[in-house]
Amino acid sequence: MLTIIMECRDNEAELAQTLSVLVAGAVEGLVRDVIVLDHGSRDGSATVADAAGCRFLDTWDLADVLGSARGDWLLLLEPGARPLSGWVEAIADHVAAHPGPARFRGARKRPFLQRLGQRLPLEEGYLVTKRQAADAARPGMGLAGLAAGAKVRMLPAEIAPAWATRALRAG
């Protein structure tokens, strides 16, 4: 039903945090596979992805990745983002009733300086059908490009964005 895709570069700790939350979706039968697209990591990102049963691709083309996804729906996330309680049900309900893309609600208030700028395209995740993503994909495009500017529904579940995870680790 759902393929989760993330891009990373030296995000070993963040990747581990996100993958640990996704286990609930796999147990419920929602998550079919997880694909990690690497940008030259030199840390243990590949090891973390392999241990979690993910496909870790160090060379990739977005169109090929989308074509190989096992799910009919895709959830694009940043490493370090953590969907919170109720995310599995929220996605299952959306997929059953709505054909269009969706995002989670942010669980944390953005820091003052971040509120002055625009939200990052994947800050609240991006749920989209495989077909819609394939139609939008262009050569050289990354995941953020797929999510940028898209009109979406808001899911009735929250996400702790990746910046919140980094702030906790730094704090």
pLDDT in tens, 120-159: 789 999 999 999 999 999 999 999 999 998 889 999 999 9
| CA distance between the termini of the chain | 37
Across the beta sheet with 126-129, the strand order is: 55-57, 31-38, 2-8, 73-77, 126-129, 102-106, 153-160, 82-83
Split into its structural domains, the chain has a count of 1
Asked whether the predicted pLDDT for residue 165 surpasses 80, the reply is: no
Give this prediction's pTM.
0.92
User: pLDDT tens for residues 41-88?
Assistant: 999 999 999 999 999 999 999 999 999 999 999 999 999 999 999 999
Q: What contacts 21, CB < 8 A, 6 or more positions away?
A: 82, 83
The pair of structure tokens assigned to 77 is 């996330």
Reported as a pLDDT band with limits 50, 70 and 90, residue 106 is confident
Structural domain span for residue 27 = 2-170
Domain containing residue 60: CATH number:
3.90.550.10
User: pLDDT tens for residues 17-48?
Assistant: 999 999 999 999 999 999 999 999 999 999 99
* DSSP class per residue in 116-142: HSPPPTTTT-EEEEHHHHHHH--TT--
Strand-pairing partners, residue 77, are 6
